[in-house]
Amino acid sequence: MRTLAFLMCLFLLLAASTPAQPAWQSSLDSKIRFYQTTDLGIVLAGTERSLYAVDGQTGERLWRRDTGKINETAVTPVPETDLILLSRDLGSKSRLEAVDLVSGGAIWQSEKVKGDVMQLAVDPQNDLIAVVLVRGARGASGKEFKGKPIVHVLRLSDGSELWKRELDDDVDMMPSRFGDDLGEIAYTLDNYRAPLMIDGRLYLFYDGSTSCDALTGKEKEREKFRINEAGLALTEADPVIDDSHVYLSGRGRIRAIDRKTGNVAWKADDVGNAAEMALVGKTLFVRTGGRFTRLADGETVERGPYGMAAIDTENGDVKWRFKGADKGITNFVFSDAETIVIADRDEVITVDADTGRKREEFDHKVEKAQFVLINEGGNVVVGGRDEIAAFALGREAKRGARSIETSMESNIPVFFALTDTTSQAKRELWRIRHKAPGRGVFRIVAGIALRAAALYFRYGGIATSALGIARGGLSLANTVNSFRWSGIRSRFGSFDLTTLASNTASRYATQTLYSYGSFARTASLATRVSGMRIVTPSGIRESIANRIVPSRTEVQESVLDRLDPTRYAERLSDHLLRKKRLSELRGNYMYFYTDLERPFDQKGLAGVNIHTGKDARFILASDPDPGFILDESINLLYSANGDKLQAFDVLGR
């Protein structure tokens, strides 16, 4: 037995010292320009000549379409459906196609929609989709770029246009990539909140806030103001909803919109620059100020004033304001029903959710702290780009004297600093540092390191940070992020971690699939995957499952054409199972791009378990490209190398 154990250890040591080989590698027809994952486990990759669909688990090429050189903004997944939108320039004409993700066939085509789809909102139950485009959204990297968004509302089933609207003014746009000397690149609307379609109304957030009738385009409410303050991205909070109202931020005020009438029920003025909102019970909690991404170069900028406010949703009255975070502010989370946790540059701060009084504060000593979360043990976890640490909250810690001032404009209590004598050393449970490798081009290495850390927020980081709320039995109405799409989901490496900790990068997949393509013709598949539901939206046409047959005239190399009916059903069931796994996935690991220690002795990714503080996962990808993607539902990392799409295993300790 000892000999066998020795030989096994020797084998593992030799394997670890050998350069990592991909789990699979798929050779495409030319250099890969972009790639993105989908909820069905299919990876879409665009080359200089074609668009490919690749099975994410095996690397098998499912289909290919001759598209020529297309931008990464030309391919847009439609959330919770089996469709993607494909924009194409055909000489002097443009065409938008709804494509069946599984087969590559076209469900419908429209020549009325010109440009790449930047953002969208979809209401599959009412057969509606709103797409936002900007024509000619390409320009030199490192330059200011403006464009005029155009909104089209279409029937999702056939692409027929109901109405369109062109905004009055050009708006600032965000580069798809940051870096020097990149030449001509695509520009995006990632610096704005995606449109929201709810209760038959469409809300737009580009040159202010506008609501209109989703079927007719008739404007209901409009407030015009500059969205991106000081050239920064996402400085306004994502909308929050409850059963009766939609809560919107803008120009330092919060508005409650009645969901039935579309009218403004109340306004809370002079709240401050609202960067994050969460609704708990009948109280809307608002974070003001924070760290934001600068459009010009992708660097982060701190902008105040920093603090929090609590608003009574019954009447819009501000219950309290907190201004004790005077050195910046991260996102906020709840450790229990009564306690809010935030951090600034130096300290972790807890705030009484009912009164706004500061309860505790202690040093965290995390360099450039960018997010706070609560792990399964109820401990505070503070993280940055290359460091993460966990602390115990001292419920019985001594509290220093309270400092309260009253706002001159009202009788709202404003709370400032408190002192807690419990030392940081006694609270600290664990701390992990993983510095990015020093070799290579610094900007690229730094970008890869940021993307690695940001992977946590791709898979339910917000859900994990709200565990304390679930245990407390409260109803937490979080930001609206389902049935909307923005490029931030695939280009999250361009954003700072504070932004990702508090908004839509963590859109969760559901266990419902609205099908307009291959799945609609095989509704019995849902019985093969327990818990999954396939919906063929009513009112589209009679018996959609029998009538929709995607046109595959432009599809090459389709693997489905070679499958018999039994294998075809098995293939669809497998994709459905991957969506189910993704819907159940929650982030447990914060990844760091670093120099891995023995027995690996190479560059790669180390995954720290946020609940234990242990290095629990390793990915031996020494030089991933800056746009790499991790799929934790099947434990593979995707990276491009020339014309090859590669997948690397995630190793557990």
Residue 205 in any domain: the answer is no
Residue 285 in any domain: the answer is yes
Phi and psi, residue 60, nearest 5° = -70, 135
Three-state SS string over 381-416 comes to: EEECCCEEEEECCCCCCCECCCCEEECCCCCCEEEC
Q: Residues 401, 499: one domain?
A: yes
Residue tagged 């695939």 (tokens)? 490
How far is the C-alpha of 345 from the C-alpha of 156, rounded, in Å? 46
Please state, in angstroms and as integers, the Cα–Cα distance from residue 616 to each residue in 385, 464, 553, 606, 619, following that order.
18, 18, 47, 8, 11
How far is the C-alpha of 413 from the C-alpha of 72, rounded, in Å? 49
- Tens digits of residue pLDDT in 584-620: 877 889 999 999 988 888 999 999 999 999 999 999 9
Residue 26 in any domain: the answer is yes
Region at 33 (left for phi over 0; alpha for psi -120 to 50; beta for the rest): alpha
Residue 295 in any domain: the answer is yes
Question: What is 525-556 written as a DSSP string?
Answer: GGGGSTT-EEE--TTSSTTHHHH---B-TTEE
Whether omega for the bond prior to residue 239 falls within 30 degrees of 0, making it cis, is: no
- Residue 128, beta-bridge partner list: 123, 155
Give the pairing of strands 602-609 and 589-596: antiparallel
| Lowest mean per-residue pLDDT among 1-15, 114-128, 187-201, 248-262 | 1-15
Q: Residues 572, 632: one domain?
A: no
Q: Residues 491, 536: one domain?
A: no
Q: Starting at the edge strand that comes first in sequence, how are the strands of the sheet with 138-140 ordered?
A: 138-140, 184-188, 174-175
Look up residue 95 and give its amino acid: R
Give the pairing of strands 116-123 and 484-486: antiparallel
Q: Residues 519, 429: one domain?
A: no
How far is the C-alpha of 474 from the C-alpha of 468, rounded, in Å? 9
Among 554, 582, 610, residue at a domain's last position:
582
- Sign of the torsion formed by the C-alpha atoms of 173, 175, 178 and 181: negative
**Contacts with 159 (C-beta within 8 Å, 6 or more apart), sequence order:** 96, 98, 107, 108, 109, 110
Residue 131 in any domain: the answer is no
Residue tagged 């429209």 (tokens)? 110
Confidence of residue 138 (pLDDT cuts 50, 70, 90): confident
Confidence of residue 550 (pLDDT cuts 50, 70, 90): low
Q: Residues 493, 527: one domain?
A: no
Q: Residues 363, 460: one domain?
A: yes
**Contacts with 123 (C-beta within 8 Å, 6 or more apart), sequence order:** 129, 197, 198, 214, 483
Q: Residues 487, 521: one domain?
A: no
Contact 161, 136 (CB under 8 A): no
Q: Residues 463, 608: one domain?
A: no
pLDDT for residue 18 is more than 60? no
Q: Residues 645, 554: one domain?
A: no
Among 510, 537, 572, residue at a domain's last position:
510
Q: What is the span of the domain harbouring residue 570? A: 512-582
Indicate the length of the chain as a whole number: 653
Please state, in angstroms and as integers, the Cα–Cα distance from residue 347 to each residue in 330, 382, 383, following that order.
11, 10, 12
Residue 258 in any domain: the answer is no
Q: Cα 604 to chain center, whole Å? A: 23
Contact 350, 359 (CB under 8 A): yes
Phi and psi, residue 601, nearest 5° = 50, 50
* Nearest of 56, 61, 581, 566 to residue 47 by alpha carbon: 61
Phi and psi, residue 310, nearest 5° = -120, 130
Most confident of 11-25, 546-560, 570-584: 570-584
What is the predicted pLDDT for the residue at 98? 94
Among 553, 582, 611, residue at a domain's last position:
582
* Distance separating the N- and C-terminal Cα atoms of the chain: 22
- Count Cβ atoms within 10 A of the Cβ of residue 136 and give its class: 0-12 exposed, 13-18 middle, 19 or more buried: exposed
Tally of structural domains, the chain: 3
Task: Count other C-beta atoms under 10 Å from residue 547's C-beta.
Answer: 11
Computed over every residue of the chain, the mean pLDDT equals 83
Q: Residues 652, 533: one domain?
A: no
Identify the CATH number of the domain in which residue 308 sits.
2.40.128.630
Confidence of residue 648 (pLDDT cuts 50, 70, 90): very high
Helix, strand and coil content of the chain, in percent to the nearest 5, comes to 15, 40, 40
- Integer-rounded Cα Rg, in Å, for the chain is 25
How far is the C-alpha of 33 from the C-alpha of 183, rounded, in Å? 14
- Residue 61, beta-bridge partner list: 54
Residue 201 in any domain: the answer is no
pTM across the whole model? 0.88
- Tens digits of residue pLDDT in 376-429: 888 999 998 899 999 998 753 333 333 444 443 455 555 444 444 456 668 899
- Tens digits of residue pLDDT in 199-253: 899 999 998 888 899 999 998 877 766 666 778 898 889 898 888 999 999 888 8
Q: Residues 352, 483: one domain?
A: yes
Q: Residues 337, 387: one domain?
A: yes
Residue 143 in any domain: the answer is no
Look up residue 407 and give its amino acid: S
